[in-house]
Amino acid sequence: MTSKFLRSVLAIAVFSLIFGLTISAFAQTGGATPAGAASAPAAPAATTPITTGTGTKLGTINIEQAVIGTNEGQRDFEVLKKKLEPKQSELKAQNDELESLQKQLQTQGDKLNEDARATLVKQIETKKKSFDRAVQDAQEDAQNQQKEIFQRILQKMAPVIVKHAQEGGFAMVMDTSNPWPQSPLLWYGEQGDITKAVVDLYNAQSGVPAPTTAAGGAAKPAAPRPAAPKPAAPASSAQPK
């Protein structure tokens, strides 16, 4: 059986190290933008320890939901989604053609002579290699553009998080984007979560209006981790029995 082409090439790239280093830099510099942060890779965590506050409370924030949930994030990720739709349609057409050829091989392979069947198998293999490369290139391009949006918003959100944590008497704020054991945070309660508060503060500061749907209501945040496309299964070149 062949895999169906899934509808989205978006895969939100969230890195806890980026979050930790960005927050740490703002906590240590009082909100100044670290030099080269937009272009150079972050230094290892060991050289930039996380700075804790002077308060006593422990807080959590889902940094992935926070960035995607901002008005700016919803707007920019929706713009990117529409930008990627032509490539998505192109990949779907390639996948449909590949599946059609594979179906032809499965249903008519035993009726073709040896040369015709070998030609069809070679055609499928060539198109599959081309499709696999196109999918990989599209995924990398989408992820790079998503990462740029995410980092740009996080860079501006970091001082908002630090200021809110300091004013709220928090000693530490931990990211809950990834569940345990991917993150060291085993359990937490909702009462310490500051995600919504940070999103509201960021929206007020950014001045970006909430996206609206066709019906005039507020748009919902994009899904954080949609599936990536899977190429069709390779055709078998074995002779039918």
Each residue's pLDDT tens digit, 25-46 = 455 545 443 333 343 344 444 4
Q: What is the pLDDT of residue 183?
A: 85
pLDDT bracket for residue 217 (50, 70, 90): low
- Domain-embedded: residue 179: yes
- Domain-embedded: residue 2: no
Mean pLDDT of all residues in the chain? 77
**SS3 of 218, please?**
strand
Q: What is the pLDDT of residue 134?
A: 96
What residue type is assigned to position 110 of the chain? D
Q: What is the pLDDT of residue 137?
A: 97
What's the rounded Cα separation, in Å, for the pair 168 and 31? 17
Listed residue (121, 119, 132, 50) closest to 91, CA to CA? 132
- Domain-embedded: residue 120: yes
pLDDT higher than threshold 50 for residue 68: yes
Number of domains in the chain: 1
Residues in the chain: 241
Q: What is the pLDDT of residue 216?
A: 53
Tell me which residue has tokens 């990211």: 175
Instruction: Tell me the CA distances in angstroms from 102 to 26, 109, 226, one per residue in order.
Output: 55, 10, 27
Q: What is the pLDDT of residue 221?
A: 53
Q: What is the pLDDT of residue 5?
A: 35
Identify the H or E element spanning 175.
Answer: strand 170-175
Enter the tokens of residue 39.
């272009």
- Domain-embedded: residue 5: no
Start-to-end CA span in the chain (Å): 19
Give the residue numbers spanning the domain of 188: 16-206
Q: What is the pLDDT of residue 163?
A: 95
State yes or no: cis peptide before 181, omega within 30 of 0.
yes
- Domain-embedded: residue 55: yes
Q: What is the pLDDT of residue 189?
A: 85
Range among 157-161, 220-224, 234-238 rated most confident: 157-161
- Domain-embedded: residue 218: no
**SS3 of 89, please?**
helix
State yes or no: cis peptide before 211, omega within 30 of 0.
no
- Domain-embedded: residue 9: no
Instruction: Identify whether the C-beta of residue 135 lies closer than 8 Å to the C-beta of residue 112.
Output: no
Range among 1-10, 54-63, 99-108 rated most confident: 99-108
Q: What is the pLDDT of residue 231?
A: 45
Q: What is the pLDDT of residue 18?
A: 42
Q: Note the pLDDT tens digit of each residue in 182-201.
A: 888 888 888 899 999 999 99
Listed residue (137, 94, 127, 149) closest to 228, CA to CA? 137
Q: What is the pLDDT of residue 194?
A: 96
Instruction: Identify whether the C-beta of residue 208 lies closer than 8 Å to the C-beta of residue 166.
Output: no
Over residues 101-129, mean pLDDT: 92
Q: What is the pLDDT of residue 154?
A: 96
pTM: 0.67
Q: What is the pLDDT of residue 187?
A: 86
